[in-house]
Amino acid sequence: MHLQRRSCSSGHASRSPGGGTSIGLSLSPSANASTGCGSGSRCGSSRILRPCGSSGYNCLPGQTPASAQAPAQTPAPALPGPALPGPFPGGRVVRLHPVILASIVDSYERRNEGAARVIGALLGTVDKHSVEVTNCFSVPHNESEDEVAVDMVAKNTYELHKKVSPNELILSWYATDHDITEHSVLIHEYYSREAPNPIHLTVDTSLQNGRMSIKAYVSTLRGVPGRTMGVMFTPLTVKYTCFSPNRMIGLSSDLQQVGGASAHIQDALSTVLQYAEDVLSGKVSADNTVGRFLMSLVNQVPKIVPDDLETMLNSNINDLLMVTYLANLTQSQIALNEKLVNL
């Protein structure tokens, strides 16, 4: 997918109605370039996306073609961009899971040679109380002075991800950069068609101020209808959250399992003996069904002479001790051989 770059004026900072500082980039759509592919068409594995032109394609909601001449008038208020119904959920707060940051940094370290930055999609959930980003994946792309080419493999990756986590949707996108560039505006417009009210997350992997700055923005279209459109990026509050920690339960040893089973059998035998004594003393009336069941259990016990049973147990213990001795001897032999080799 190729994102055609628009001619862009210098960035400027403005004050948003909510009191926060916003980053505005005024965009002037250029004339339609001749690329050999129609609007929104696919050339090979790429998709051509052009600026909002005279025919009206690739225009965001509330945006009009720049070629439509309109008389000069007083600047209109902010034009509504693609947004969720009502105010931004969670009081303009974005909640990030730590795995997101680790994945972004890992993608930046594994970037292609010569790549200045890495971009990718952010996945998560949205409700009326919060926006929570729980996962992400990198999107291969190439940036030049005139265009941005994004590999269409991102759509296949998202389709595969939905099979594993169907509840996670594309919420936004990230870039390993400390500032918002002209190319960022074009990519953000593309994600505006993929997700409502997308969030742009910047991760400063260059450590410009001695720390990795992490910022999130939401965009709003501004300008005069029928004239040059502008995109204003308003900062959001970023908070970190995580799932409940998993509890680690260690495996019990064989001796503990044998001890627990023996204690359970001893308790069961004590209950049976107490029942038999109560029946013999007349405290409890006899039950023929229980009596036949107890007799069946007694008959299942093998009749072994106590001396033979003791001999059998001692033989098994001797075999176990011999195996343990041979294992320790083998371990000592291997350790001694390693020391002799390293001399």
| Cβ atoms of residues 77 and 221 within 8 Å | no
Per-residue pLDDT, averaged over 139-153, amounts to 73
Which CATH architecture best describes the domain 2-65+78-240?
3-Layer(aba) Sandwich (3.40)
Tell me the β-bridge partners of 149: 2, 142
Query: Rounded to whole angstroms, what are the CA distances from 261 to 8, 142, 293, 311?
Result: 77, 65, 22, 23
- For residue 64, name the pLDDT band (cuts at 50, 70, 90): very low
pLDDT over threshold 50, residue 166:
yes
- Domain positions in the chain are 2-65+78-240, 267-301, 306-343
Amino acid letter for position 78: A
Beta-carbon neighbour count of residue 282 at 10 Å? 8
| β-bridge mates for residue 147, sequence order | 4
Per-residue pLDDT, 263: 92
| 255-284: pLDDT as tens digits | 888 888 999 999 998 998 999 999 999 898
**pLDDT above 90: residue 88:** no
Closest CA to 218 of 297, 107, 122: 122
Q: How confident is the model at residue 187 (pLDDT cuts 50, 70, 90)?
A: confident
Determine the Cα–Cα distance for residues 171 and 95; give it in Å rounded to an integer: 12
Q: 10-51 pLDDT, tens per residue?
A: 344 343 444 443 433 333 333 333 333 433 434 445 444 444
pLDDT of residue 330: 94
